[in-house]
Amino acid sequence: MPRYAMAIDLSLCVGCAACAVACKMENEVPPGVFNLWIREREVGVYPDLLVEFRPEQCLHCENPPCVPVCPTGASYQTQEGLVLVDPKKCIACGACIAACPYDARYLHPAGYVSKCTFCAHRLEKGRVPACVETCPTGCRAFGDLDDPESPVSQALKAADRVDVLRPEQGTRPKLFYLNAPSKRGLTRESEVRHD
């Protein structure tokens, strides 16, 4: 049984949002809600600057806080490690939306909670998620974390630096960020200058 994971190389990502648009089309995501979005942060003072482009989406945590809070079992984890929502069981109570530390979930206008599925329907056909396939920079790697030859394992091995979002939450994300532009790792809102 594969254990699906994704890695995004931030030294290559230009924040073009090809992934976000491909996701929108592939998954018919309605206006106003997003499975996947880009966070852009500028850190530093002219001319010593860095800009981090960081795509964000459901991290398909190994220890997902959104699953145990679901009263109906609509939120669940598959054997391949995908965290999914069964719309038929979902009563849209919003507990999982509140529990997710990454704001990855939203209420779909059709009346259930939705989010990134790692394009489970494509995985069934042996295809990678739409965001991975389309990325012009090739900054996304996907595959089986238990297979050392998989693109994601290879990318993790080759990376100079690997980060996950909010590791202190203990969620054990399976979305990894590689080669963050800052030596301090992923940028934080507190590093951004405001007037």
Partner 1 sequence: MQRREFLKLSALSAGALALKGSGPAKALGTPWHAKEVRSVYQICEGCFWRCGIVAHAVGNRVYKVEGYEANPKSRGRLCPRGQGMPQTTYDPDRLKRPLIRVEGTERGEGKYRVATWEEALDHVAKKMLEIREKYGPEAIAFFGHGTGDTWFVDFLPAAWGSPNAAKPSVAICTAPREVASQWVFGRPIGGHEPIDWENARYIVLIGHHIGEDTHNTQLQDFALALKRGAKVVVVDPRFSTAASKAHLWLPIKPGTDTALLLAWIHVLIYENLYDKDYVEKYTTGFEELKAHVKDFTPEWAEKHTEIPAATIRQVAREMAAHKPQAVLPPSRHTVWYGDDTYRMMALYYVNVLLGNYGRPGGFYIAQSPYLEKYPTPPLPLEPAAGGCSGPSGGDHEPEGYKPRADKGKFFAKTTAIQELIEPMITGKPYPIRGLIAYGINLFHSIPNVPRTKEALKGLDLYVAIDVLPQEHVMWADVILPEATYLERYDDLVAVAHKTPFLELRTPAHEPLFDTKPGWWIARELGLRLGLEAFFPWKDIEEYLNTRLQSIGFDLETLKGMGTLVQKGKPWLEDWEKEGRLPFGTASGKIELYCEKFKEAGHQPLPVFTPPEEPPAGHYRLLYGRSPVHTFARTQNNWVLMEMDPENEVWIHREEARKLGLKDGDYVILVNQDGAREGPVRVKATERIRKDCVYLVHGFGHKAPLMRIAHGRGASDTYLQTRYKLDPISGGAGLRVNFVRLEKAERPRLPALTGLAKRPFDERRI
Binding site for partner 1 (CB under 8 A): 11-12, 14-18, 20-22, 24-28, 30-34, 37-39, 42, 44-47, 49-51, 53, 87-88, 90-94, 97-98, 103, 105-107, 110-113, 121, 130, 133-139, 181, 189, 193-195
DSSP 136-150: TT--EEEEETT-TTS
Looking at beta carbons only, is 21 or 164 nearer to partner 1?
21
72's enclosing H/E stretch is none
Bridge partner residues of 15 (DSSP): none
What are the φ/ψ torsions at residue 140 (nearest 5 degrees)? -105, 130
Looking at beta carbons only, is 97 or 162 nearer to partner 1?
97
Looking at beta carbons only, is 41 or 62 nearer to partner 1?
41
Residues in the chain: 195
**Distance in Å, CB of 147 to partner 1, minimum:** 22
Distances (CA, A) of 151 to 4, 28, 74, 148, 162: 11, 27, 31, 8, 15
CA nearest to 17, candidates 182, 145, 97, 134:
134
Looking at beta carbons only, is 62 or 89 nearer to partner 1?
89
**Distance in Å, CB of 146 to partner 1, minimum:** 25
**Distance in Å, CB of 168 to partner 1, minimum:** 19
